[in-house]
Amino acid sequence: MGGQAMTLTDQRPASEPRIVYNEGYLDEQTKRAIRRALLKGVAIPGFQVPFASREVPMPRGWGTGGVQVTASIIGPEDLLKVIDQGADDTTNAVSIRQFFERVAGSASTTHTEQATIIQTRHRIPETPLAAGQTIVYQVPIPEPLRFLEPRETETRRLHALEEYGLMYVKLYEDIARYGHIAKTYDYPVRVNGRYIMAPSPIPSFDNPKMHMSPALQLFGAGREKRIYAVPPFTSVESLGFEDHPFEPQSFERPCQICGSEGVYLDEVITDDAGGAMFVCSDTDYCARTSSGTSTEGAPQ
């Protein structure tokens, strides 16, 4: 390289730091582009709006879409909750929460009903969401038809024509082979009777919570450069057939810590002899149910 090649910045005074980041990390121009995409997403529920996804300081596929959406909506009045697998304390949730505390100076909470923004990976909290809350889903593969048709040029056409036969054929093949629809997470939904949408890899257990939710639901897929949304009080129907309707998974036992029933459970292996205990995946719900603090009620 010879060292002769130079850039303009080489003429800076030696005392100035070279590396400076914006307040809130994303620049205003980027936020505006994301905000416009969000508005169109809300106006066309379930439609994947392409956006010029930026790099954010974490690996692609680790929530960069959710982070960009949250960064574009969050402000000083917000209380942010970040969960991964339902838990506030998983390493990736902690890392994302710390990112926002560092770059946006945002206040955070673990209490579902206090949060104004909940960024999540793989779960919807057990505490029902309320009007005024926004849930931001991290999405790895936004295209519900992707594993049936890998080409984006083709899936875009199928969505435009509302041509979803492929999806129903796949689900029906499952029934023929296993007697059930063999899809337990990222279970496809139809939004407002029009677009088939990937709910992100939440367990099908959580799907019913999306239907007519009073909260605003936003979805960010950073690597795949797509944003989509479900407004409050919008029909979100999990796909099924008349003779094989959608059945969310359920657990027949209560949480072994807090005793809650009808909640999603993690199976925690306790020994090498097949021993296991089943506990709430939603750590906030579990902690406060077992300590007797109410988890009912809405923030507004």
| Phi, psi at 119, each rounded to 5° | -95, 130
Measure the CA angle with vertex 273, ends 270 and 278; round to 5°: 35
| E strand or H helix at 268 | strand 265-269
CB of 12 to other proteins, least distance (A): 11
CB of 146 to other proteins, least distance (A): 11
194 counts as binding other proteins under rule CB under 8 A: yes
Residues 99-128 binding other proteins (CB under 8 A) are: 121-123
Q: Is there a catalytic annotation at residue 262?
A: no
Residues 216-275 binding other proteins (CB under 8 A) are: 216, 223, 225, 229-235, 249, 251, 264-268
Closest CA to 138 of 60, 211, 206: 60
Q: Is there a catalytic annotation at residue 258?
A: yes
State both tokens at 269: 């292996």
* Strands (DSSP E) found in 201-247: 216-221, 226-230, 236-238
Cα–Cα distance, 25 to 103 (Å, whole number): 6
CB of 127 to other proteins, least distance (A): 17
Q: Is there a catalytic annotation at residue 280?
A: yes
Q: What is the distance in angstroms between the CA of the first residue and the CA of the last residue of the chain? A: 61
Kindly name the residue from 179, 274, 280, 297 that is annotated as catalytic.
280
User: For tokens 């099908």, what's the residue?
Assistant: 204
Among 101, 102, 184, 256, interactor with other proteins by CB under 8 A: 184
Closest CA to 73 of 133, 18, 153: 133
40 counts as binding other proteins under rule CB under 8 A: yes
CB of 45 to other proteins, least distance (A): 5
Residues 78-97 binding other proteins (CB under 8 A) are: 84-87, 89-95
Listed ranges 47-55, 163-171, 238-246, 286-294: which one lies at the site for other proteins (CB under 8 A) = 47-55
Catalytic sites, residue numbers = 46, 255, 258, 280, 286
